[in-house]
Structure 1
Amino acid sequence: MPLEAPARIVRALATRGFNADREAVTLIASADDPGRALEAAVEAAPEDALTITAEHVRTVLDGGVAADASTSNSSVSTGDHTENPPDESAGSPAEAMGVGSGDSVTASSGNDRPAAHTDGPELAQRDDSQRSLDIANDITGRSTGTGEYDDFVTVFRDRFERLSGKLRGRVNHRPTDTLEAMGGGSDAAIVGMVNDIRSTASGHWLIELEDTSGVFPCLVMKDRRFADQVDELLCDEVIAVEGTLADDGGILFVDSMYFPDVPRTFEPSTADRHVQAALISDVHVGSQEFMADAWERFADWLHTAEAENIEYLLIAGDMVEGVGVYPDQDDELDIVDIYEQYEAFSEHLKQVPGDIEIVMIPGNHDAVRLAEPQPGFDEELREIMSAHDARITGNPSTVTIEGVSVLMYHGVSLDEIIAEFPDDKATYDDPQKPMYHLLKKRHVAPQYGGHMRLAPEEKDYLVIDEVPDIFHTGHVHKLGYGKYHNVLAINSGCWQAQTEFQKSVNIDPDTAYAPVVDLDTLDVTIRKFD
């Protein structure tokens, strides 16, 4: 094995069911016979070990193992050697479930832990040459906002221009400052940002729309067939309306309303081969309620043949529980130091097979700024979590995996959608439904000035410019998924049992789920590990 090929060492260890510390990989690569060093380190590891450490490698190297190449003709790169016969019973039993509304659902309880990694079936070595992973719309390192007035003008103008561009081809719009000159009774259309929404004494709705020329009032009569869509409006989103000007030209009576939306003709992209991605979120390491045993069952399962097609793991925020996030949180912490929380998370991450590509974005419990868009973790935290070489990006970001685009967004704005909308349109029990509304608005956090903290930047990173194939969120600790205009929307639950704070606000979490997506078909399988 060439000394410059640590990735081959990581893959070879993964076929044997192990991860490895970065230093351990370096020591193996530097040995006289890396293949023999690897085999000896695996043999020297404790039976229940998940990770080959530098200490394991030093033990065998100091003992003279692998110094003589003639003692072994093993090769790290082949991955076809196993010390123990396969355990035909390894794996997780299937269990019927019905969560969400996707095309294909299977659930595994995960309660029967797979056999130890060294006893399980040998997995086929993966061909990294077929992989591709690109990240777009990452705010990390690009933040320019200072909070000045001009910054807010810039970001809202950018939002308006980009979203109005998706509507202008659908209506023959006019700038607001030209409407009064058109005369009463004229047909007219406006593309504008919602400035205000209020009901009249007669039960109608008055909506003020603002463009770069001014503000114009629009009246939606309560008997209109689309009047219930007013319940879906949020301030600061961009819509278009068509209607007729009043006799005095001072108000527009609305006949139809349009959202930027996902085209109904949208067809998602798929991968050219059978490959899978596991989508999880809200791990919350550091909480007393972090489900460590469930996580270990999940990580163990990833080492089995049943999971051999999972080559990507996408984590949508809240790696740790954080500190000072909600009242009296200190009473519910198992680890009180934020850096120690990330160190513990890193240890749990090492249990994941080393040849799985990991992408992570931050959430509102993570040690980054709360205002969205959130940049990825700083260098100190990245170094703490460097053992697995995870790809760390901002919240939100679009991750394209083998041609399949995944919009990853932690999901804080889902709270506002659920609070503002009627129960038949958005609830915590069906978190995919508020996700549909964000797709419809083509913006992951439309409303400014509520509970959401939004940072003004030179562009609005929260606009959904390109329609994603998959929309992945977390935050609300509920499992739900479905399709909106062929976009697969998944909220992936959490790995934290109910806390006292959650009890006080009536949150009943869906725990230890791992939705798995076939990237070649976009079918979903739900795995459960509690």
Structure 2
Amino acid sequence: MPLEGPARIVQQLTAHGYNAEREAVTLLASRPDPTQALDRVLENTPDETLVIGAKDVERVLDAETESTREIAPPSESKAGTSDSAPATDTSRKTEIDTAGQDPTASPGERTTDSPGEAAVDAVETGGFERAGDRSQRDIAIRGDMTGESTGTGEYRDFIAVFRDRLDKLSSKLSGRVNHRPASSIESMPGGSDVAMIGLVNDIRSTASGHWLVELEDTTGTFPFLVMKDREYVDLVDELLRDEVIAMEGTLADDSGIAFVDSMYSPDVPRTHEPKTADRHVEAALISDVHVGSDEFMADAWNDFADWLHTEEAQHVEYLCIAGDMVEGVGVYPNQDEELDIIDIYEQYEAFNEYLKRVPGDLDIVMIPGNHDAVRLAEPQPGFNEELRSIMSAHDPQIVSNPSTVEIEGVSILMYHGVSLDEVIAELPSEKASYDEPHKAMYQLLKKRHVAPQFGGHTRLAPEEKDHLVMESVPDIFHTGHVHKLGFGKYHDVLAINSGCWQAQTDFQKSVNIDPDSGFAPIVDLSTLDVTVRKFS
């Protein structure tokens, strides 16, 4: 089957691990049978070659022509004509998709065009032309703690991280209540109005059906009683240990407890107005690829990658992957029985080959997940240099879990999402469930922390600073992990859990997980509207 223009040639070269000079692709596209010409070049190009140039193409194709052509009679020879094959006519410049890279750059050395220069060329594929000018792109990373880990596992580190959490989130609440420290409340007379900001130290019900919530700050603890007949008693169902809240109430006569009148979470302000891009540009938000699993959906991934080369995807310029690039090894019991690739490094090499299939002119950002070869405790630093060198296709930005990615003014908080398991397990099903994972994400936005509960399913690393606090409100909150698709808006923050690229495994069957596989949510950054593409 003939190739569909120069862009298809670039795609095939990229799939085989090569970059190509513009003139090399033009020479291939100009052949009577581009498919055959490309096959000959691929067969005769050394594996260690990084960039296929025009000379490489001419060497292979000229040698092929030389071995088959007939020598013309002298009477047909013209002055100035070389004995070699006729030169290709390059007087007409053919614009092609250069995969967004400097034609002479090796993998990992992508260059940025000067302002005002169009860096995305027209692509002659039946009218498809990727929209946008790369000089308009703008991407910045906030909160990447890779290389910044300070935790030693000592007791003082645990104290430091919770002090930092309380300090950061208290600032979100201090304007709402006239709060006092626990030690001061203990000395106030009965009947006084009191307010306190603290970490939820304990939650328990009384024999009468009321709720006792104990708050802790740097001076001590104090109990607050939430009466069962108060309208806000339902908020107790949403509380998790170690989250930061504020409570107002009245001290009992003996000053040993306070009766709650109101409670507050740091929350997203209702006045929040999300930022949007100044032009029509889109981002694909995906996660949980799980290359290496025998249930990895290679066909669905390849269909997704092919779609990104089509006119329908002309506005997609960014790809954000929220963790679990590979299946990993030893993540759960008997996982080795469900692996197609049993070596972790070979899993990443295979992932890199699949990543090569997406257009090279996308800006790619990736964070790790709990199946990846990084520490399990959150925050998770980005991958080490060895793994980064393996995952080099299209020069992705690899940052920590979580991190905030600002794309053309739109802030996207990327978090893999392990704590969603805990939120769903602890809270009532109408407030958090696997069928509607975005509602569990709403709870994290309300608490302004991606993993508030310590000591449970989610492993948290003690650091001098709490890198898991949402100090600023994101415009988009992007998670994965639970393998379910769901999205919605909470106080105008778009929350998206993006599903996965893995069919149901035997382990998932055993725990009743029915994954949403082969979906790619596409976000229009100029409107924050979502379109979901299905490839399975």
Equivalent AA in structure 2 for residue 408 of structure 1: M
| Structure 1 residues 69 and 172: CA distance shift in structure 2, 3 A | farther
Q: Is 2:28–2:38's contact at 8 Å kept on the other side of the alignment? A: no
Q: CA deviation at 1:56?
A: 9.2
Q: 1:20 aligns with which of 14, 30, 43?
A: 14
Give the alignment's TM-score, normalised by structure 2: 0.84
Q: CA deviation at 1:16?
A: 5.7
1: CA distance, partners of 2:229 / 2:453 = 27
Identical pairs, percent: 67
Residue 147 of structure 1: aligned partner? 153
Equivalent AA in structure 1 for residue 252 of structure 2: A
Bigger shift: residues 260-269 or 125-134: 125-134
| Secondary structure in 1 matching 2:348 | helix
Q: CA deviation at 1:206?
A: 0.8
Q: Is 2:139–2:405's contact at 8 Å kept on the other side of the alignment? A: yes
1: CA distance, partners of 2:428 / 2:302 = 39
| Structure 1 residues 61 and 382: CA distance shift in structure 2, 3 A | farther
Q: Is 1:397–1:407's contact at 8 Å kept on the other side of the alignment? A: yes
2: CA distance, partners of 1:251 / 1:489 = 38
Q: How does 1:15-164 map to 2 (within 5 A)?
A: 17=11, 20=14, 24-25=18-19, 28=21, 36=26, 39=29, 44-46=37-39, 54=49, 57=52, 60-63=57-60, 71-73=88-90, 78-79=95-96, 120-124=126-130, 126-164=132-170
Q: How does 1:383-398 map to 2 (within 5 A)?
A: 383-398=389-404
1: CA distance, partners of 2:29 / 2:490 = 49
Residue 313 of structure 2: aligned partner? 307
2: CA distance, partners of 1:165 / 1:172 = 12
| Structure 1 residues 129 and 180: CA distance shift in structure 2, 3 A | same
| Secondary structure in 1 matching 2:489 | strand
1: CA distance, partners of 2:50 / 2:148 = 40
Q: CA offsets per residue over residues 105-153 of structure 1, 9 Å max, x none?
A: xxxxxxxxxxxx9865432464111000000111111111010011111
| Structure 1 residues 265 and 34: CA distance shift in structure 2, 3 A | same
Residue 299 of structure 2: aligned partner? 293
| Secondary structure in 1 matching 2:458 | coil
Q: 1:376 aligns with which of 378, 382, 393?
A: 382
2: CA distance, partners of 1:380 / 1:325 = 21
| Structure 1 residues 477 and 201: CA distance shift in structure 2, 3 A | same
Q: Is 1:22–1:387's contact at 8 Å kept on the other side of the alignment? A: no
**1:528 corresponds to 2:534:** yes
| Structure 1 residues 261 and 301: CA distance shift in structure 2, 3 A | same
Q: 1:425 aligns with which of 431, 440, 454?
A: 431
Equivalent AA in structure 1 for residue 255 of structure 2: G
**1:217 corresponds to 2:210:** no
Q: How many residues align?
A: 477
2: CA distance, partners of 1:293 / 1:256 = 53
| Structure 1 residues 129 and 118: CA distance shift in structure 2, 3 A | closer
| Secondary structure in 2 matching 1:516 | strand
Give the alignment's TM-score, normalised by structure 1: 0.85
1: CA distance, partners of 2:349 / 2:258 = 59
Q: Is 1:15–1:79's contact at 8 Å kept on the other side of the alignment? A: no
Q: Is 1:36–1:74's contact at 8 Å kept on the other side of the alignment? A: no
Equivalent AA in structure 1 for residue 14 of structure 2: A
Structure 1: state its 5+ residue gaps. 1-11, 82-116
| Secondary structure in 2 matching 1:157 | helix
| Secondary structure in 2 matching 1:188 | strand
1: CA distance, partners of 2:240 / 2:484 = 23
| Structure 1 residues 36 and 155: CA distance shift in structure 2, 3 A | same
Q: CA offsets per residue over residues 427-454 of structure 1, 9 Å max, x none?
A: 1000000000000000000000001111
Residue 174 of structure 2: aligned partner? 168
| Structure 1 residues 235 and 56: CA distance shift in structure 2, 3 A | closer
1: CA distance, partners of 2:9 / 2:497 = 30
Q: Is 2:224–2:260's contact at 8 Å kept on the other side of the alignment? A: yes
Q: 2:204 aligns with which of 189, 198, 201?
A: 198
Bigger shift: residues 472-481 or 68-77: 68-77
Does 1 or 2 have the higher relative contact order (CA < 8 Å, sep 6+)?
1
Structure number with bigger Rg: 2
Q: Is 2:293–2:340's contact at 8 Å kept on the other side of the alignment? A: yes
Residue 345 of structure 2: aligned partner? 339
1: CA distance, partners of 2:200 / 2:432 = 20
| Secondary structure in 2 matching 1:45 | helix
